[in-house]
Structure formats: structure tokens, C-alpha cells
């Protein structure tokens, strides 16, 4: 499933770039995320974090454990975000490039990537997968916008 | 001078209501899941969420210590159990070792990884969540054409090309025919993966008696005796100590014509824990790990003269096998090749099959098994040829049919068509729809800008499986008829009806042949301890082969009854009719009950006759039977959305003699429903990573009653010379005839803007896009 | 297909239900307790273990939640009223035919016999049938908790995909629809997803003298009012012209059954159909 979109942050690109690389901010903004623990750099040079997430949309709930990796840093214009998680209801891997483009006083954060899911959620959630992915991304950026606002 | 004998009214040919229905309708039938044995435990199976992965480790400790869990087994525990059998053989066939639990690797989503046995099913299901499997996902391939590309992920690392087998068949001189053809039309045609979807999922209960080393296995299967033989072999049990019982079976459609890992696994577990064990497949599992049907990508070429005379047909068939060979997996596409000439005089045929491994659940027999794909191909090609030559689709068919005087007809694929009048059902169907007027309606509709289509399909089927040399595990069937001392009749059939209604039709046959009321007859099946060895129910064979075996057993009994009658009436001029033997000289009679009683008391016996009144016959059919017919579908397409509405559906089937018109109509209706399902709605879709994304009924669209058009059925009757009943089989006819009629109809509707072909399922979006593409 | 363990209770009063809903470990609602209304969405999710509530509070035996009545020009429908009851109600058919039409389009007979209007709106499936009509009808929901009651428009209630304004501890008590004074015409046009019976796109239109209300379901992350279409209609545009803008700027849903582009297209088709039919039903 391809995903793409953009969000306006009221911060200059360099700040926007920094906060989206900040594990504390990422952990706060990822819906249902408990924490991100740095597990160091992977062999291919990615900064990697261990994560635990409790996803909940309406009655649907799932615990996911996995990793968040930040790769291909190109400060302040882009980096690659790789999120992998798995739990009893399935597993997901999302990979996308975040691009930071100056837009007036703020930054236009664009994302483009692909999400693959497996397990029960892939087999029975087809009808709501796309809309749910968008919902989660919307929530994430909503919180990032909030976090950015606090930092202004 | 003989007295008049009241002859019981003949039941064969009458719409006798199904004797099975009262128990089904009132909910008193016993299915596997209704069984409750003392001390019974429950198994649940952990399945792979990955299409391809190495199993690094499995931690079962938490599951093992979960309260109520009795045992947990994984791959290494069941290494001693034989592999899931593939019963089909082809030259050079690669058959992967199919262990009953994955060991080291998983090959498709749903692959069984571990089994939990617990005191109840809820506990077992909870414990599945406690098993930790460390998977290392590897690249998967789900599309058979992609699997054939160089560099594609290897499903089985030992065979990097993903090819399980190739198969070539040729008849006549195809090269020459194509070289000399005045017109050649080519088309890629797919037949998508489908989920067979019986109302009752699979399931089994196993009980092992250690002292006797005997196993009783209740399973929802179409083939109890073959299952007994094969599951016994897998488990190393002595065959006569294995008893398989099929309780009520809620539909199979071919998916229960198999031997599954779970049948051996449940038995293994029962043997290990020393308690009866039940495993019931969930609907989710049914999607993931019961065989799928179809899965073809076909490349067709048809050669013809400009006058419409067909010369040759070429096919490159790519069969998506899935990750393993189930019982008949590789044989299914060979049936497509056998039937590729359809009802036409194709003297020159060439076919190449490539059987391809994919990281998907195996494909195997699903209603029609190979023949719907073949019929879809040839019937689409005939329409494409008609379009190319600007001929009417009915005309081009009538021009190329095998003639009535040509039977038995030897096809270029090596079959001998038994009997036929192929034009008759087509003409009848054309009359029923008022074809000429209908085309006129279509012309007017087009003037109004409406997209109305008329689709014709004329199909032939290869049924009544089948002569044993051509059928894995044998193609005969058996019947025993026992008459009790009181004159009541018990039929034991080796066939294994699971919705077809043979408890009714076989009772009709027996009642007629013995001249007894139908209520005096019971039909038993599906218990290997009660019924003599049999093959089972599939391939439209129940009545055509099992019924024929019954006929011969009845014939033997009639002869014996007559001999008893002659003895008892002290005459050599005796007629057995209407349930009594009558002396044609004196008019004296003895009833069947008197005769049966005498045969058991045996105070006197006819010369060279044994006591008792029982006969068993194993009947080997000399040939397949070949039903045929014509279906016409009228469709109307919503130009704005692409939605297809079937406004009229006419099915004229020739299944030979008809034992029970009500049941034949039911078979045609059900078959057409599944044909419409494939045509319009159903598709088992795997994504690029091998996830089955139509894994529930919320996304996999089986036809519902409200989605069905009115189905008009009619028949022509051309008896089969292959069996004494003259029946040909009808279980798959509706499905086989349907999809080409509907697709031809939709393509016909879309032909004004220039659409040539559309693949199934013809969802609104697909039709709309084709239409948009044609407009552009 | 076997849910995780859960506790089940079947309270006999709304007060008891609210107490039990608020009966989390710290005495406050914590999301681990779910209300069971018809269960047509919740139970399948539980059987797939996608939802695993610790407790279910079944409203079936709570008296006073199943009714359809008219009070001073407002239609009141109790949360536990089944789709079939709405579909077949003489009152709804006569005074609010759009809602009966929407109810008749939900799922299949079995679902309509068990599923409830309160359950449907609370679940807020983005492809459910009711919301489009409730939006076009400018309906409201009344929510009740131990703290009291509040009423809000359905439009405010539907926040996002399966997300509503329901606070922990709150239950949907009833749905209210202001009844038409003038002779507005209404219609619901739906493209059905053949497997689930949900809407690929569903458009509810309510058109009267000088006003138009258009509710859309299935197209976006939640059901919404297409105000751009309403404005065009109110400005005198014809059905096709107005319907053509329905998907403008909408981030359309995409799935196996309909891509985003196709959904957008189908939305214009079904909007035009609903509008035309609604206009034809004006009296």
C-alpha cells in the first residue's frame, strides 16, 4: 500500500528535521507508543530504536513491538523512516522518505512511502487498511504539529 | 392366465423430495462438530503469518504450562508421520516433502506450525497466543507468472525455477493447421484463484484405542475410504484397524476430495495423549489452508478458415499450484487440456502446461476441476473468432459442432465422447430466449445508448470419473444391497454424498428395481466399517458410477429373488415385478418379504444359491460420460459505474437420463451460482508479499441469494451409453457452462466501443476501466 | 475465531450499565469495557482477536432503549432499536423515509434483525449506511454518562475513522431527527460492496425548498456532509453539475473493491442519482 501526503509545521526546516529525529518526540507522537529505546546503529549505519506501541482504533487493539530506524540523513532536507512492528494480530513494515521544504515561515513536511502488513490485519482488514493507515498518520502528524507548536 | 399385478409407480424421473432435508432443516443432522466423545480434547493449530520464512526457533513453554493445555507439538515431534500424499503422477513431477507441520521453514500464510491440545477449544485457542515463533522472513512470490521470471524468489530453494512440472500434449498436426489457417486469433485468459467455501468447514475427531491399535477418524470428507488408506499409511497403522466415518458433510465442492495434514495431525495427537481429539477448522483457516480452486493463466490461439471452420487450438497453460502438491493438484490442469476442444471438431491441438510453485495455499479440485477453465477458454475463443469473422456466435458454434452421427467421437486429445446432440440444447436455449427478437432488443438498446449483451456458452464436460486407468486411485464404484428378512432394503454405497442427495436418488432407483415403496429403502454411506470399499463423490460421478454399481447389484438381487420365487412358487415361469414374484401360469404370488424371509431361514434353497439376500458389485466404467449443454446470459451494464446486471439466465443442460428433476435443477442452480461467483465477484487475492488479502467473508464475495438472477432451466436428453442408467452427471454442469456465458455476454455488451476481452471477476471497477479505456 | 476471555454482564437498568461501564480498576472507564449493542461489528472483531475487551456490558436487557416515537416534531429512536425496526416502522416510513431507506440498505436480513442504530453510530464505520442519512437529516445523538446527558449533532459526533466524540463512560442513548415541515424529498443511493454489504459509496440527499443536505459515506475516512454540493444545489445548479464536485478535495478511500479514483467517480454518479431521486420525491 502506497502512502503519501504532507503536513505544515510552524517551524523552519532545520527545526522540523531535528524534532522528527528526536526519539522523545517520535515516541510522544506515535499513537500508543510507550517509548523508544536507542539500540544503537545498525550495520548499515541506521540509527535504530526499539519500540512498543499499543494501537487502538475503536474496539480494535493491538500491541506491536519492533524497531524504528532513521536512515539516509540529508539534513535538513530529508531522511528515511523505517518502522517495523509485529504483534499477535499481525505485523507491519512502513518505509518512507520525509522531505522538508521551506514554506513561508514554516515547513512543508512531505512523506512518501509504502506500508506492508501481514497476518490477521492483512487478511481480514483489507476494507479498512487504507483508511486506518491514513488515520494513524494523521494522528501522528497532528501530535507533531502540536509538539512543534510548543517549541515555537 | 396371469392375474393383474399392481405395479408400483416408477420413481425414477420424478421430483421426489430430498429425504435428507428434514434432518438438515430441523437442525438435527450430526456434523463433525456435533460429536461429543467422553474425555474428548480439542486441538487448535498455530499458523504462519508469513508467506515465506525460516523458523529460527519456537518457544512453546508458556503454552505448555497454560492451565488446561495437555500437549503442544511442533514439526520435529511429527517427523515420523508420513507426508501429505500427492496421488497424481506426471513424468518428472517435482513433489516437495509435505510434512504435516512445518519444519525449519514455512511456505505460505496459513502453513501449520504447531498444534495445541487442551481440555477445551477456548483454552487451546488462548494458548496459541502464548507460542513464540522466531521467524526470519524471506522473499515470497505469489503470482505464477512472476514466479517463472528469472531471479524470482524460489518457493522451494531446491528448485529455483519454481517449476514443478511441464506437460505437453498434442493431437493432429497443430503446426500445419496454424500455418495454413486463414485467420488466427490470440488471447490471454485468466481463471482466478477461488475459495471453494463449503458451508461446513473441514474438521475431524480422532479416537485411538491403544489396546487394539485401532483408530476411528470422523472427518468431513468426500472420500472416506481413500482417506482411510492414506491416513493409515501416513500414521503407520494397519489399514483394517482404521475406521473413517463421515458424518453429515456440509458441502465440499472438491475441497474435501483430499487428504489433509490436519486429518493425520489430529489422529497423531489423539494417539499421543490417549484421548479423543477434535479439530474444527475456523472460517479463517478455511480461507488460508484448505485448497483453493482454478489459478490459471492461459494463452490461447485459435486457427480457422474465413468461413468460420475451426482448424486448431493452441494453449500455453500456467497453473498456479501453490506451495505443495495436495492429492490431485498437478492433475487438475491436465483435465483442462483433455477438454480443451469443447464440443467442436478441432482436429489439431497443442497444449503446454507449466505447473508453478507459489507461496500460496495449494490449488486442487474445485467444482469442475479443470473443465471450467477449459470451457471458459474455448468458449471465449469461439466468441473472439466470431467477432473477428463478424459471425453470429450461435452460428459459428452450430457450424463447428461434432455431428450427431459421429459418436463415439475420438477427440484430438484422446477422449472418446460417448453420445451427443450438441445443437439441440443450443437451439432450445435460443428458442427460450427468442434469440432473434433478443438481438433486435439489443439493437434498440444500443440505439438508446444502453450496454446490453447476449452471451452464449455451449459446454461439454468430462464426467462420471472415470475409467480407472485414467483416474488416480481407481475410478470404479461399489454398491451393496441388503434385503432384511422383513423385506426392507438397505443400500450401502461406496460413494460419499455430501449434499448431492443420493440418499434420495439411490432409494428411487432401488425402489423401482425392487418394486418396493421408497420408505422401505435406506441408503447408508460414509463409514468404512459398514460400507464396502468405495472411491467417493466428486467429478459428477455419484449417480453415473455409484448409481450404475447399485443398478448391477440390484440386478443380481433381482435374479436371486426370482430364483427364490421360482422355488417357492414351484414354477419356472415367474415374473418379479412390483415387489412380488408371480407365477405366470397360476397367478400365485410370493412377496419380497416372504422371499427374503425364506432366504434367511434357508429351510430350502434354490439350486446353486446361497442363503441370504445381499449383493455387492464393484462397477468399472468403460469410459467417462460427457454431458453438454448451452447457457445464455443476458446482461446490462451500467455505463456510468461498470456494474453488471444479469437480466436473464437460461441453462439448457443435457445430463442424459434424469433420475430426479428437482435435484438436477438444484445442482444446476448451485452450479450457476458458483459460476456467477467466479464471473462477477469471487477472487482469492494474494498481495505481492504472499498475504491473502481476501481472507474473510467481508472481502471475499460469495454469491448470496439476493445477488442471484432468476435461473430458467431446461433439458434435452441424450442417454449415455456408458452406464445402464443412461445418466451423464450434472454436479458441475452449472459451473462449467456459466462463466463463459456471462463473460461473453459482458464482452458483447461492451463490443460497440471495441472491447474484445475481459477477465474475471468482472467487478464494476474493472468493467468501468475497460470501458474508459475503450472510449479513450 | 475464538475470542479471548472476557467478562460479560447484562444489566437491567441504564444506571447499572453506566456503573459497570465505569467499573475499571480505578473506578473510571478505561476502555477495557465495551458496550455490546447488536454486536454486528464488535463480535466479529473479537472472534478474530482484533478486539479483546476485558468486559462486555450488554444493553439488550436494559429497558427503555428500544423505541421509535414522535415528540413535538422530532423523531426519537432509542439506541437499541434494530435496523429492521427502523426499516419497517410505519412512523419512520411516513415521516422520515430516508432513514427507513438507509436502514433497509444495511447488511443483510440477519444483520438488520440484530444490529442497532446506537451500535452503528457508536462504531462509526466509515462505510456504514446510517451516517450519510443522519447527516442529511441533521440528526443528533444523545449521550448519557454518570455525569448526565448531552446532545450533539451527528456531524460533531463523527470525529474520524471509527472514532467518535463518545467519552469513556458514555453510552449513546438515542438518535433524534427533526421531522420535515415542508415537503423535502429524500433518497439514499448506494453502491454495495458485494462481500461485506457496506457501501463502496453511499449518498443521502435531502432536498427541500431553498435547501439541500447531502451526506456521504464510504468515500472518505468518515461520513461527512458535502457542503460544496449543497451550496451548488441551493444556488440552483442541476443534479449533475452539483454532484460532479462531491469528491473535490476529498482524500478518497482505496481498497480491493474500489480504488480512490473509482470511488471518486462513483460518488459523482451516485450523488447525481440520489439528488435526482430526492428532487423527484419532493412534494
pLDDT tens digit string along B166-195? Answer: 999 999 999 999 999 999 999 999 999 999
Predicted confidence at residue B5, as pLDDT, reads: 43
pLDDT, tens digit, 9 for 90 and up, residues B422-463? 999 999 999 999 999 999 999 999 999 999 999 999 999 999
Instruction: Specify whether C171 is located in the same domain as C193.
Output: no
CB < 8 Å to C193, chain B: 701
Residue of C nearest to A58 (CA): C162
Residue-by-residue DSSP string for B137-159: E------HHHHTSTTPPPSSTT-
Q: CA-to-CA distance for C221 and A124, rounded, in angstroms?
A: 18
pLDDT for B4: 42
Residue of A4, A115, A130, A138 to mutate for C, most C C-beta atoms under 10 A: A130
Query: For the segment B288-316, what is each residue's pLDDT rounded down to a tens digit?
Result: 999 999 999 999 999 999 999 999 999 99
**Cis peptide preceding B279, ω within 30 of 0:** no
Q: Residue B680 pLDDT more than 90? A: yes
CB contact under 8 A, B697 and C256: no
Asked whether the predicted pLDDT for residue B1 surpasses 90, the reply is no
All three cell numbers of B455, joined, read: 452471451
Describe the strand order of the beta sheet including C199-208 as a list of residue ranges: C185-192, C199-208, C211-217, C224-225
Q: Which residue of C has its CA nearest to A59?
A: C51
Selected residue of C255, C259, C260 to mutate for chain A interface (largest A Cβ count, 10 A): C255
Of B44, B697, B699, the CB nearest to C256: B699
Q: Which has the higher per-residue pLDDT, C28 or A47?
A: A47
Residues B438/B406, Cβ–Cβ less than 8 Å? no
Who among C161, C198, C257 is closest to A132 (CB)?
Answer: C161
Q: How many domains does chain C have?
A: 3
- CA A121, A127, A130, A132 dihedral sign is negative
With 0.80 as the threshold, say if the pTM is over it. Answer: yes
Residue B8: its pLDDT value, please? Answer: 57
Q: Is residue C82 one of the residues assigned to a domain?
A: yes
Residues C230 and C275 in one domain: yes
| pLDDT given at position B734 | 96
Express each pLDDT in C221-266 by its tens digit: 999 999 999 999 999 999 999 999 999 999 999 999 999 999 999 9
The Cα–Cα gap between A26 and A21 comes to 7
Which residues form the domain of C49?
7-58
Q: Give the domain range for residue A70.
A: 2-151
How many cross-chain Cβ pairs, A to C, lie less than 8 Å apart? 69
Task: Please report which confidence band the pLDDT of residue C28 belongs to, taking 50, 70 and 90 as the band edges.
Answer: low
- Interface contact A104, partner C, CB < 8 A: no
**Does the beta-carbon distance from B689 to A88 stay under 8 Å?**
no
Q: Is C1 within a domain?
A: no
**Among A127-141, B489-503, C73-87, where is mean pLDDT lowest?**
A127-141
Instruction: Say yes or no: C97 and C125 in one domain.
Output: yes
Q: Give B574-620 pLDDT, tens digit per residue.
A: 999 999 999 999 999 999 999 999 999 999 999 999 999 999 999 99
pLDDT above 80 for B2: no
**pLDDT number for residue C26:** 53
What would the grid cell of residue B219 be?
472427518
pLDDT tens, C183-218?
899 999 999 999 999 999 999 999 999 999 999 999
- Let me know if residue C226 belongs to a domain: yes
- Using an 8 Å CB-CB cutoff, list chain B residues near C4: 126, 129
For residue range B86-98, list pLDDT tens digits in order. Answer: 999 999 999 999 9
User: If pLDDT is split at 50, 70 and 90, which confidence band does B59 have?
Assistant: very high
pLDDT at residue A40 in the model: 83
Question: With an 8 Å Cβ cutoff, is B401 touching chain A?
Answer: no
Q: Which of residues 103-162 of B touch C (CB under 8 A)?
A: 121-122, 125-126, 129
Q: Do A122 and B288 touch (CB under 8 A)?
A: no
C2 part of a folded domain: no
Same domain, C164 and C219: no
Interchain CB distance below 8 Å, B693 and A116 = no
**Window from A1-5, A94-98, B105-109, B540-544 with minimum mean pLDDT:** A1-5
Average pLDDT of span A82-100: 92
pLDDT higher than 90, residue C31? no
Let me know: does C62 contact C92? Beta carbons within 8 Å: no
Q: Residue C83 maps to which CATH number?
A: 3.30.465.10
Q: Tell me how long chain A is.
A: 152
The mean predicted confidence, pLDDT, of chain C is 95
Pick A130's closest partner by Cβ from C50, C196, C254: C254
Task: Name every chain B residue with its beta carbon within 8 A of the beta carbon of A90.
Answer: 49
* Lowest-confidence region among A114-128, B337-351, B473-487: A114-128
Burial of B53 (0-12, 13-18, 19+ CB in 10 A): buried
Q: What is the mean pLDDT of residues B250-272?
A: 98
Is residue C63 assigned to a domain?
A: no
Match 519456537 to its residue by C-alpha cell: B58
Nearest by CB to B699, from A90, A119, A127: name it. Answer: A127
B701 touches chain C (CB under 8 A): yes
Asked whether residue C31 is domain-assigned, the answer is yes
Q: Looking at residues B53-64, what average pLDDT do you find?
A: 98
Q: Residue B21 — very low, low, confident or very high, per pLDDT cuts 50/70/90?
A: very high
Give C125's pLDDT tier (boundaries 50, 70, 90): very high
Q: Do C1 and B643 touch (CB under 8 A)?
A: no
Residues C108 and C167 in one domain: yes
- Give the pLDDT confidence score for residue C30 in this predicted structure: 63
Q: Indicate yes or no: CB of B769 within 8 angstroms of CB of C262.
A: yes
Residue after which a domain boundary falls, among C141, C160, C178 = C178
Q: What is the CATH number of the domain that holds A51?
A: 3.30.530.20
* Section B558-573 average pLDDT: 97
Q: What residues of A are in contact with residue C161 (Cβ under 8 Å)?
A: 57, 128, 131-132, 134-135
3-state helix, strand, coil in chain A (%, to 5): 30, 55, 20
Nearest to B698 among A118, A122, A124 (CB): A124
DSSP label of C73: T
| pLDDT computed for residue B84 by the predictor | 98
**Mean pLDDT along residues B464-468:** 91
% of chain B residues with pLDDT over 90: 98
Residue B6: per-residue pLDDT: 46
Decide if C147 is inside a domain: yes
The predicted structure's pLDDT at residue C201:
98
Domains within chain B, CATH numbers bracketed? 21-27+467-619 (3.30.365.10), 48-138+197-289 (3.30.365.10), 418-461+625-775 (3.30.365.10)
Q: Are C173 and C193 found together in one domain?
A: no
Query: Per-residue confidence at A35, pLDDT binned at 50, 70, 90?
Result: confident
Check CB contact of A135 with chain C, cutoff 8 Å. Answer: yes
DSSP assignments along C96-136, one per residue: -HHHHHHHHTSS-HHHHHH-BHHHHHHHT-TT-SHHHHHHH
Amino acid at each position: 500500500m502506497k502512502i503519501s501526503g504532507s503536513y505544515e509545521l510552524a517551524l523552519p526546516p532545520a527545526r522540523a528535521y531535528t524534532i522528527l529525529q528526536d526519539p522523545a518526540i517520535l515516541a510522544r507522537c506515535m499513537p500508543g507508543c510507550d517509548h523508544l529505546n536507542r539500540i544503537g546503529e545498525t550495520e548499515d549505519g541506521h540509527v535504530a530504536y526499539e519500540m512498543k506501541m499499543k494501537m487502538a482504533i475503536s474496539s480494535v487493539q493491538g500491541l506491536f513491538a519492533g524497531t524504528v530506524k532513521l536512515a539516509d540523513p540529508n539534513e535538513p532536507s530529508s531522511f528515511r523512516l523505517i518502522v517495523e512492528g509485529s504483534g499477535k494480530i499481525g505485523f507491519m513494515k512502513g518505509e518512507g522518505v520525509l522531505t522538508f521544504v521551506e514554506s513561508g515561515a514554516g515547513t512543508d513536511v512531505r512523506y512518501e512511502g509504502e506500508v506492508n502488513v501481514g497476518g490477521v490485519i492483512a487478511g481480514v482488514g483489507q476494507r479498512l487498511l487504507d483508511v486506518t493507515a491514513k488515520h494513524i498518520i494523521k494522528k501522528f502528524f497532528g501530535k507533531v504539529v502540536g509538539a512543534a507548536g510548543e517549541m515555537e | 392366465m396371469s392375474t393383474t399385478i399392481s405395479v408400483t409407480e416408477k420413481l425414477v424421473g420424478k421430483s421426489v423430495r430430498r429425504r435428507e432435508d428434514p434432518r438438515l432443516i430441523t437442525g438435527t443432522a450430526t456434523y463433525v462438530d456435533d460429536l461429543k466423545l467422553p474425555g474428548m480434547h480439542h486441538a487448535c493449530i498455530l499458523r504462519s503469518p508469513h508467506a515465506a520464512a525460516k523458523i529460527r526457533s519456537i518457544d512453546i513453554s508458556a503454552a505448555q504450562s497454560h492451565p488446561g493445555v495437555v500437549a503442544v507439538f511442533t514439526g520435529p515431534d511429527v517427523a515420523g508421520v508420513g507426508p501429505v500424499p500427492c496421488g497424481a503422477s506426471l513424468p518428472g513431477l517435482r513433489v516437495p516433502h509435505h510434512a504435516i507441520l512445518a519444519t525449519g521453514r514455512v511456505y505460505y500464510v496459513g502453513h501449520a506450525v504447531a498444534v495445541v491440545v487442551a481440555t477445551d477449544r477456548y483454552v487451546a485457542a488462548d494458548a496459541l497466543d502464548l507460542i513464540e515463533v522466531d521467524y526470519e522472513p524471506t522473499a515470497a512470490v505469489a503470482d505464477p507468472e512472476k514466479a517463472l521470471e528469472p531471479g524470482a524468489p524460489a518457493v522451494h530453494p531446491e528448485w529455483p525455477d519454481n517449476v514443478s512440472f511441464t506437460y505437453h500434449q498434442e493431437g493432429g498436426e497443430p503446426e500445419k493447421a496454424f500455418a495454413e489457417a486463414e485467420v488466427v486469433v490470440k488471447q490471454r485468459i485468466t481463471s482466478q484463484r477461488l475459495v471453494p467455501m463449503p458451508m461446513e468447514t473441514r474438521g475431524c475427531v480422532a479416537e485411538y484405542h491403544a489396546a487394539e491399535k485401532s483408530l476411528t477418524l470422523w472427518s468431513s470428507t468426500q472420500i472416506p475410504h481413500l482417506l482411510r488408506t492414506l491416513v493409515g499409511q501416513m500414521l503407520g497403522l494397519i489399514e483394517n484397524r482404521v475406521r473413517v466415518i463421515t458424518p453429515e458433510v456440509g458441502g465440499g465442492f472438491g475441497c474435501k476430495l483430499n487428504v489433509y495434514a490436519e486429518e493425520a495431525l489430529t489422529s497423531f495427537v489423539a494417539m499421543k495423549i490417549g484421548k479423543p481429539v477434535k479439530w474444527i477448522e475456523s472460517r479463517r483457516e478455511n480461507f488460508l489452508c484448505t485448497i483453493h480452486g482454478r489459478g490459471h493463466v492461459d494463452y490461447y490461439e485459435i486457427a480457422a478458415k474465413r468461413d468460420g471452420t475451426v482448424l486448431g487450438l493452441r494453449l500455453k497453460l500456467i497453473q498456479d499450484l501453490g506451495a505443495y502438491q495436495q492429492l490431485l493438484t498437478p492433475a487438475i490442469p491436465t483435465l483442462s487440456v483433455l477438454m480443451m476442444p469443447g464440443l467442436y471438431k478441432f482436429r489439431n491441438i497443442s497444449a503446454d502446461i507449466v505447473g508453478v510453485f507459489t507461496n500460496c495455499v495449494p490449488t486442487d479440485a474445485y467444482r469442475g476441476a479443470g473443465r471450467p477453465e477449459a470451457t471458459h477458454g474455448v468458449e471465449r475463443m469461439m466468441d473472439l473468432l466470431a467477432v473477428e469473422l463478424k459471425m453470429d456466435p450461435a452460428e459459428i458454434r452450430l457450424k463447428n459442432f461434432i455431428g450427431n452421427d459421429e459418436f463415439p467421437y475420438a477427440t484430438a486429445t484422446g477422449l472418446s465422447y460417448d453420445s451427443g446432440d450438441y445443437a439441440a440444447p443450443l437451439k432450445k436455449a435460443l428458442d427460450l430466449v427468442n434469440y432473434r427478437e433478443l438481438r433486435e432488443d439489443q439493437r434498440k438498446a444500443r440505439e438508446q445508448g444502453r450496454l446490453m449483451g447476449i452471451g452464449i456458452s455451449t459446454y461439454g464436460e468430462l464426467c462420471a470419473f472415470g475409467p480407472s486407468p485414467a483416474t488416480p486411485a481407481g475410478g470404479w464404484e461399489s454398491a451393496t444391497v441388503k434385503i432384511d428378512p422383513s423385506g426392507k432394503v438397505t443400500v450401502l454405497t461406496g460413494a460419499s454424498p455430501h449434499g448431492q442427495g443420493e440418499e434420495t436418488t439411490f432409494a428411487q432407483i432401488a425402489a423401482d428395481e425392487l418394486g418396493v415403496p421408497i420408505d422401505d429403502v435406506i441408503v447408508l454411506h460414509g463409514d468404512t466399517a459398514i460400507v464396502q470399499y468405495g472411491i467417493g463423490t466428486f467429478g459428477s460421478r455419484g449417480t453415473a458410477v455409484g448409481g450404475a454399481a447399485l443398478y448391477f447389484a440390484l440386478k443380481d438381487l433381482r435374479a436371486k429373488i426370482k430364483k427364490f420365487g421360482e422355488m417357492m412358487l414351484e414354477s419356472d415361469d415367474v415374473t418379479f415385478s412390483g415387489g412380488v414374484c408371480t407365477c405366470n401360469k397360476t397367478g400365485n404370488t410370493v412377496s419380497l418379504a416372504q422371499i427374503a424371509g425364506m432366504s434367511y431361514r434357508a429351510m430350502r434353497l434354490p439350486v446353486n444359491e446361497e442363503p441370504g439376500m445381499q449383493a455387492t458389485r464393484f462397477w468399472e466404467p468403460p469410459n467417462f460420460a460427457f454431458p453438454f449443454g448451452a447457457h445464455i446470459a443476458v446482461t446490462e451494464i451500467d455505463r456510468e459505474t461498470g456494474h453488471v446486471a444479469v437480466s436473464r439466465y437460461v441453462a439448457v443442460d443435457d445430463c442424459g437420463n434424469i433420475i430426479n428433476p428437482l435435484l438436477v435443477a438444484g445442482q444446476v442452480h448451485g452450479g450457476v451460482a458458483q459460476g456467477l461467483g467466479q464471473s462477477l465477484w469471487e477472487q482469492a487475492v494474494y498481495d505481492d508479499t504472499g498475504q491473502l488479502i481476501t481472507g474473510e467473508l467481508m472481502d471475499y464475495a460469495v454469491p448470496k441469494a439476493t445477488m442471484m438472477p432468476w435461473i430458467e432451466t431446461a433439458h434435452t436428453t441424450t442417454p449415455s451409453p456408458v452406464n445402464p442408467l443412461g445418466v451423464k452427471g450434472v454436479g458441475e454442469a452449472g459451473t462449467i457452462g456459466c462463466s463463459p456465458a456471462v463473460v461473453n455476454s459482458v464482452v458483447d455488451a461492451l463490443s460497440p466501443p471495441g472491447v474484445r476481452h475481459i477477465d474475471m471477476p468482472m467487478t464494476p471497477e474493472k468493467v468501468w476501466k475497460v470501458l474508459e479505456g475503450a472510449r479513450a | 475465531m475464538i475470542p479471548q476471555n472476557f467478562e460479560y454482564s447484562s444489566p437491567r437498568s441504564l444506571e447499572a450499565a453506566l456503573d459497570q461501564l465505569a467499573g475499571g480498576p480505578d473506578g473510571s472507564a478505561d476502555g477495557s469495557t465495551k458496550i455490546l449493542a447488536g454486536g454486528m461489528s464488535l463480535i466479529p472483531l473479537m472472534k478474530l482477536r482484533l478486539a479483546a475487551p476485558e468486559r462486555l456490558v450488554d444493553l439488550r436487557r436494559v429497558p427503555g432503549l428500544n423505541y421509535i416515537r414522535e415528540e413535538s416534531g422530532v423523531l426519537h429512536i432509542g439506541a437499541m432499536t434494530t435496523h429492521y425496526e427502523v426499516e419497517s416502522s410505519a412512523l419512520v416510513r411516513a415521516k422520515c423515509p430516508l432513514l427507513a431507506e438507509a436502514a433497509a440498505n444495511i447488511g443483510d436480513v440477519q444483520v438488520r434483525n440484530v444490529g442497532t442504530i446506537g451500535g452503528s453510530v457508536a462504531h462509526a464505520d466509515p462505510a456504514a449506511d446510517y451516517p450519510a442519512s443522519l447527516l442529511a437529516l441533521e440528526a443528533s445523538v444523545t449521550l448519557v454518562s454518570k455525569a448526565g446527558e448531552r446532545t450533539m449533532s451527528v456531524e460533531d459526533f463523527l470525529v474520524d475513522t471509527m472514532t467518535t466524540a463518545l467519552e469513556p463512560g458514555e453510552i449513546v442513548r438515542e438518535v433524534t431527527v427533526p421531522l420535515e415541515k415542508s415537503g423535502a424529498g429524500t433518497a439514499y443511493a448506494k453502491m454495495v460492496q458485494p462481500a461485506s454489504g457496506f457501501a463502496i459509496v453511499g449518498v443521502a440527499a435531502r432536498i427541500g425548498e431553498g435547501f439541500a443536505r447531502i451526506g456521504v459515506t464510504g468515500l472518505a475516512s468518515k461520513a461527512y456532509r458535502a457542503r460544496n454540493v449543497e451550496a451548488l444545489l441551493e444556488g440552483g445548479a442541476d443534479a449533475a453539475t452539483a454532484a460532479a464536485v462531491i469528491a473535490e478535495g476529498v482524500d478518497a478511500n482505496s481498497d480491493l473493491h474500489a480504488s480512490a479514483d473509482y470511488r471518486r467517480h462513483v460518488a459523482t454518479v451516485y450523488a447525481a442519482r440520489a439528488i435526482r431521486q430526492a428532487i423527484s420525491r419532493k412534494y
